Amino acid sequence: MTQSNAAIKEEASRGAETALEIRDVVKSFGAVQALKRMNLKVRRGRVHTLLGENGAGKSTLMKILAGVYRPTSGEILLAGKAYQPQNPRDARAHGISIVFQELSLCRNLSVAQNIFASHEPSRFGFVRDRELVAKAEALIEDLGLPVDVHAKVGDLSIAQRQLVEIAKGLSLPADVVILDEPTSSLSDSEAEILFSIIGRLKARGKAIIYISHRMEEIMRLSDDITVIRDGEYVTTMEKSETSIDKLIALMVGREMQDIYPPRVAPRPAAGIAPVLATKNLTVPGKFHDVSIYVKPGEVVGLFGLIGSGRSDIMKALFGMERPEGQILLDGKPLTLASPSDAIRNGIAFVTENRKEEGLVLAHSVERNVNMVALKQLAGPFGLMRGSAERAAAKAEVLRLAIKAASIDTTAGSLSGGNQQKIVLAKWLQIRPRVLILDEPTRGVDVGAKFEIYRIIRELAAEGAAILMVSSELPEVLGLSDRVVVMHNRSLAAVLDAEGLTPETVMTYAAGMHA
């Protein structure tokens, strides 16, 4: 059938709007083929989401666009012309800006210095500090970010660092903006700031490639969605043509009836004593007067907006802060001078900052998984047993479906989601009585989330007391028995999770309950 004139004009218009096109791109690392004939067409003034499980090839493709890797074969067109970046600086010069999921900031430098690192305003080789600060303040104000440009990045929270990373990525003019899991450590209010920025970028005709595992967010922001699986292109569709259930099935290759598994065991009875409790716990300047408890077999969610003190509470319970007040274990006062004291008492902590606090990236999967459990794996006289270590690591890799070529693969070479699963596996080795989870599924895909949720349910059924911080409110409501809500560094409410609505939680978190 011959196309109508209108259809031909529409097709031509769509072609003219194309900012970036990827044609049959292949990327091999030795015998491993990370990308297999990848195709993608990104249009101006639209958000194009790239969706796939961890290890599907998303990060590899983004690194090719950013000039970190070169494709093995295939071609890339930028504004209709061949695009072959030699390095990240070359990619930026061509108008490609990327905000990676893993932060690339210098902790000892200020926010302003980080934002304009490598392209500071200078004269005769000297940095013009006043101009640097002025430009940073103008950018931060334009983006609406709640960050002080004079602050040291090392003093900021993970969420604030993520906002600085976003500002850094937008500090140079760009026609194509790539956002890799930009909300993975942001609360709902901070994410709204980012969504507003994305709206302005779209209005200016920028092409946006968006990578996220948060399905509700994807359905809200996307214009076009491309699904990839195991390094291969699956399909591209407009948001109006699909649904969350359909996308999950395309992404993982199977239907997932319920992302939050049901309880394996009944909730602990009213008379059961808590395993862990706090009384008037305070760390001056970070949080004050927090009294909470967690019973065996219970999942307690801890929710709050940025600066509410939720992560600092976790650190105090793991011996990383010196609090005032009391920490009680089985009803007895517990003094934690260091994380080692917490571990000896059966307390485990899955940190939100896996890159700096959870892993030794240069070490193998095996070493990272067994890091905390070496004493249990040792033989007579404390001698290590290689066979026991390897068997234990392989069991956890299989249990959490960690995607790695072998247990000898370095942790730093794996995707962010697989790194997060290694952090969780490390603590599961010691079968903790108290498991503290700080953003346990940050940067983890839907399929992997389901596995982590299943493990949380199983541990609770075995009697572990679980305290979980998450910025994803559906996750908090889907897994928790009770929800502790923080506001302005103090306890706002403790609510039964059954029948609890997001609106109620946000009312307390925003300080509007009065």
**Is 238 part of a structural domain of the chain?**
yes
Distance CA 179, CA 210 (A): 5
Query: Which of 380, 403, 430 finishes a domain?
Result: 430
| Phi, psi dihedrals of residue 418, rounded to the nearest 5° | -70, -35
pLDDT per residue over 140-193, tens digit each?
Answer: 998 888 889 999 998 888 788 888 888 888 888 889 999 988 887 777 778 888
pLDDT per residue over 314-373, tens digit each?
Answer: 999 999 999 999 999 999 999 999 999 999 999 999 887 777 778 888 999 998 988 877
Task: Domain of residue 36: give its range.
Answer: 17-252
**Same-domain check for residues 331 and 247:** no
Provide, rounded to the nearest whole percent, the portion of the chain with pLDDT above 90.
Answer: 39
**Is 276 part of a structural domain of the chain?**
no
**10 Å Cβ neighbour count for 409?**
17
Query: Which of 375, 407, 430 finishes a domain?
Result: 430
3-state SS of 85-145? CCCHHHHHHCCEEEECCCCCCCCCCEHHHHHCCCCCCEECCEECHHHHHHHHHHHHHHHCC
The reported pLDDT for the residue numbered 308 is: 85
**Same-domain check for residues 45 and 60:** yes
**Average pLDDT of the chain to the nearest whole number:** 85
Helix (H) or strand (E) holding 468, with range, is strand 465-469
Contact status, residue 62 vs residue 210, Cβ threshold 8 Å: no
**Same-domain check for residues 101 and 209:** yes
**Same-domain check for residues 500 and 393:** no
**Same-domain check for residues 176 and 38:** yes
**Is 278 part of a structural domain of the chain?**
no
**Same-domain check for residues 97 and 242:** yes
Rg (alpha carbons) of the chain, rounded to whole number: 24
**Is 182 part of a structural domain of the chain?**
yes
pLDDT per residue over 27-48, tens digit each?
Answer: 988 877 889 889 999 999 999 9
**Same-domain check for residues 380 and 446:** no
pTM of whole model > 0.85?
Answer: no
Take residue 176 and report the two structure tokens written for it: 């194509």
**Is 262 part of a structural domain of the chain?**
no
Distance CA 12, CA 14 (A): 5
Residue 384: pLDDT band with limits 50, 70, 90: low
In the chain, the number of structural domains is 3
**Is 24 part of a structural domain of the chain?**
yes
The reported pLDDT for the residue numbered 259 is: 72
**Same-domain check for residues 381 and 466:** no
**Is 282 part of a structural domain of the chain?**
no
**Is 158 part of a structural domain of the chain?**
yes
**10 Å Cβ neighbour count for 185?**
24
The torsion of the CA quartet 46, 51, 57, 62, rounded to 10 degrees, works out to: 30
Measured between alpha carbons, how far apart are the two ends of the chain, in Å?
A: 66
Contact status, residue 281 vs residue 291, Cβ threshold 8 Å: yes
Contact status, residue 364 vs residue 388, Cβ threshold 8 Å: no
**Same-domain check for residues 72 and 144:** yes
Query: Which of 200, 234, 252 finishes a domain?
Result: 252
Contact status, residue 474 vs residue 272, Cβ threshold 8 Å: no
**Same-domain check for residues 100 and 164:** yes
Residue 7 has pLDDT above 80, yes or no: no
pLDDT per residue over 475-491, tens digit each?
Answer: 899 899 999 999 888 99
**Same-domain check for residues 408 and 438:** no
Residue 312: give its domain's CATH number: 3.40.50.300
**Same-domain check for residues 118 and 57:** yes
